[in-house]
Amino acid sequence: MPREPSDKRPPSRRIADDLREQIKNGTYGPGDKLPSERKLAAQYGSARNTAAEAIDILRREGLAVAKHGAGAFVRLKPALLRLGSNRYSRTLRETTGLSPYRAEVTKQGRTPRVACTSIERVDAPEDVAQRLGLNDDDRSVVRRENWYFADDEPVQVGVTFIPWAIADGSVLATSANMGKGSLYARFEDLGHPLTRIREEISARMPTPEEVAGLVIPDGVPVLEVLHTGIDDNGDPFEVTRFVMRADFNALDYNMPIED
Amino acid sequence: MPREPSDKRPPSRRIADDLREQIKNGTYGPGDKLPSERKLAAQYGSARNTAAEAIDILRREGLAVAKHGAGAFVRLKPALLRLGSNRYSRTLRETTGLSPYRAEVTKQGRTPRVACTSIERVDAPEDVAQRLGLNDDDRSVVRRENWYFADDEPVQVGVTFIPWAIADGSVLATSANMGKGSLYARFEDLGHPLTRIREEISARMPTPEEVAGLVIPDGVPVLEVLHTGIDDNGDPFEVTRFVMRADFNALDYNMPIED
DNA sequence: CAGTGGTCTAGACCACTCA
DNA sequence: GAGTGGTCTAGACCACTGT
């Protein structure tokens, strides 16, 4: 680590750059402990704050995680859950009898758990109402909130909105348990076979509520998917807003090009 | 702002929470200037560092941006570019004569610019080779790097890999200019009509190189899309890795459910 | 020019982890 | 108990912005 007097970078950046380089070249591998802030400060002749800032830079980049009282460590990248477009396939549903999510997690050798934490009747938010084609005078929908876990770690939340006119009188409006074949089997029973999906995808940093609920470390964004289920008449019958930890989830779509 | 003696939050969090609340309730609207660090420090009776840390928290959440020497401001959310699955449609391509990207940006009233910054022959990286179905003994591909701008702001980079066996002898291997109808028209000329696409989507924080190249502010993640073009025989003929600023780009897919 | 953010120093107390 | 990160204070110099 030669001292370049012509180095324009501030000390905290320089320390961060050095550590990043050492992570990339394998000096510190995934899970390894990085030098403590006090060690770094001594080594670089800076204040402890400056070394701490360097570590913070790496945390924001998603390269390191800190454990209070224990040290800072190179982040180990967990296997990504790949949520594919085929997760909505009817044959997959019927052969496994599992919900799309359970099928995907099980396929990866992890233990899935889904918890429906609330079912209530509300007015749909603006963007949801628009995608469901609801008039302003009847935005009444069933709101179902689901939490998804893999090996008991929370990995995503999904909030589903179903027009009251469709859900009224079925288990969709009342019961956390969807029965065999899960959600889309019930829609099929009600005359709405899932025929097309629209998925609008964006990414952003999590809100403090999401950080708390999904236990999201620093430097990890969320993927937000606004999903619309469409039946054989081209009519939307369900909208779900998914929010998922971007370090645990990836999306994998395979689709035909349509003219 | 009543002082709760039982407030367990550290001062920096408390200031950040207060500001976040005021941004949410409209006290500070998009583009408004937030109080200076020195003002906040005085107001809360803390050190300037603590106020600065509070502003940093909001920046990491993507809620605020700082301009050196001028102040910190509530981030104004730019209109999202929605890159849809229909961007690959042949009819769209033929009616507009524009590349997918140009068509999409123009539709939004912005001025598109695409720059091909390099064309070279290389060996494909592991994940690309796998998706192209290349043997280990012939990974030779053409690598084309494209930068995409909207109103002269860089919004995404795309690196396309084409098997040498396909590109050899065509403009794909040599020329930045793709001619009328652009990339996929040339593949069609070569007997590879685009029939299906696979898109693998993830999100993460940008690397320092990406921050520099795409001019990405703090608190903004990137969307990474690994795109595979597949012809009417089901054979992949092209892979592109897109990296895009998540605050400028969203993805919008509409696809049939296949059994 | 005054005001602003960017970053640093030097020291401090706390809460936590690990052997 | 020794070591660690989390966070704070109080002060400082610099580079940049706007008028």
What does the pLDDT look like over A198-249, one tens digit per residue?
Answer: 999 999 999 999 999 999 999 999 999 999 999 999 999 999 999 999 999 9
CA distances B76 to A45, A203, B30, B79, B225, Å, are: 40, 16, 5, 9, 25
Q: Nearest-CA neighbor of A228 among A239, A219, A220?
A: A239
The H or E element containing residue A9 is none
How many whole angstroms separate alpha carbon B55 and alpha carbon B35? Answer: 10
Amino acid at A171: V
What pLDDT was estimated at residue B3? 44
How many whole angstroms separate alpha carbon B60 and alpha carbon B78? Answer: 17
Q: Contact A88/B259 with Cβ under 8 angstroms?
A: no
- Give the model confidence (pLDDT) of A71-115 as tens digits: 999 998 877 888 887 777 777 667 766 777 887 788 878 889 889
Q: Contact B205/A219 with Cβ under 8 angstroms?
A: yes
Place of tokens 């998914």: A242
Confidence of residue B5 (pLDDT cuts 50, 70, 90): very low
Q: Which residues does strand C reach (CB under 7 angstroms)?
A: A 10-13, 45-50, 53, 67-70; B 34, 36-39, 48-49, 52, 55, 66-72
How many whole angstroms separate alpha carbon B72 and alpha carbon B61? Answer: 14
Instruction: State the Rg of chain A over Cα.
Output: 23
Lowest mean pLDDT among A212-221, B93-102, B163-172: B93-102
Which residues of chain B are in CATH 1.10.10.10 domains? Answer: 11-74
B233 contacts: CB under 8 Å, gap ≥ 6:
none
Closest chain A residue to B53, measured at CA: A53
Closest chain B residue to A49, measured at CA: B49
The CB density around residue A255, as the number of other CB atoms within 10 Å, is 19
Mean pLDDT (chain B) is 90
Specify the pTM: 0.89
Task: Say whether residue A24 is in contact with chain B using an 8 A CB cutoff.
Answer: no
Strand partners, A148: A114, A156
B257 closest CB neighbour out of A60, A89, A205: A89
What pLDDT was estimated at residue B180? 65
Question: Class assignment of domain A11-74?
Answer: mainly alpha
B236-245 and A112-123 beta bridge pairing: unpaired
Structure tokens at B164: 């040498």
Q: A93: alpha, beta or left, given left = phi > 0 and alpha = psi -120 to 50?
A: alpha
Shortest Cα distance, chain B CAs vs residue A105, angstroms: 17
Amino acid at B113: R
Per DSSP, which regions of B135-246 are E strands? Answer: 140-150, 153-163, 196-204, 222-230, 236-245
Q: Could you confirm whether domain B81-252 is CATH 3.40.1410.10?
A: yes
How many whole angstroms separate alpha carbon A257 and alpha carbon B228? Answer: 12
B203 contacts: CB under 8 Å, gap ≥ 6:
A203, A221, A222, A223, A246, B221, B222, B223, B224, B246
Contact B257 A198 (CB under 8 A): no
What angle do the packed helices B48-60 and B37-44 form, to 10 degrees?
120
Strand partners, A223: A203, A244
Per CB-CB distance under 8 Å, the chain B contacts of A201 are 201, 223, 250-253
Q: Is A223 in a helix, a strand, or coil? A: strand
Mean pLDDT of B82-89: 81
What pLDDT was estimated at residue A93? 67
Confidence of residue B87 (pLDDT cuts 50, 70, 90): confident
A252 contacts: CB under 8 Å, gap ≥ 6:
A82, A83, A84, A85, B198, B199, B200, B201
CA distances B71 to A64, A94, B66, Å, are: 30, 58, 6
CA dihedral of residues A45, A46, A52, A54 (deg, nearest 10): -80
Greatest pairwise CA separation for chain A in angstroms? 75
State yes or no: pLDDT of B1 exceeds 50: no
Q: Nearest-CA neighbor of A90 among A183, A162, A173?
A: A183
How many whole angstroms separate alpha carbon A253 and alpha carbon A259? Answer: 18
Lowest mean pLDDT among B21-35, B59-73, B102-116, B230-244: B102-116
Q: Contact A53/A63 with Cβ under 8 angstroms?
A: no
A8 contacts: CB under 8 Å, gap ≥ 6:
none
Q: Is A122 in a helix, a strand, or coil? A: strand
What pLDDT was estimated at residue A97? 66
Per DSSP, which regions of chain A are E strands? Answer: 64-67, 71-74, 81-84, 112-123, 140-150, 153-163, 196-204, 222-230, 236-245, 249-256
State yes or no: pLDDT of B118 exceeds 50: yes
- Give the model confidence (pLDDT) of A146-189 as tens digits: 999 988 889 999 999 999 999 998 888 888 777 666 788 899 99
Per CB-CB distance under 8 Å, the chain A contacts of B90 are 257, 259
How many whole angstroms separate alpha carbon A82 and alpha carbon B199? Answer: 11
Amino acid at B25: N
Q: Is B67 in a helix, a strand, or coil? A: strand
State yes or no: pLDDT of B6 exceeds 80: no
Q: How far is the CA of A112 from the C1' of D13 (A)?
A: 55
Contact A205 B254 (CB under 8 A): no
A228 contacts: CB under 8 Å, gap ≥ 6:
A131, A132, A197, A198, A199, A236, A238, A239
How many whole angstroms separate alpha carbon A74 and alpha carbon A9? Answer: 23
Which residues of chain A are in CATH 3.40.1410.10 domains? Answer: 81-252
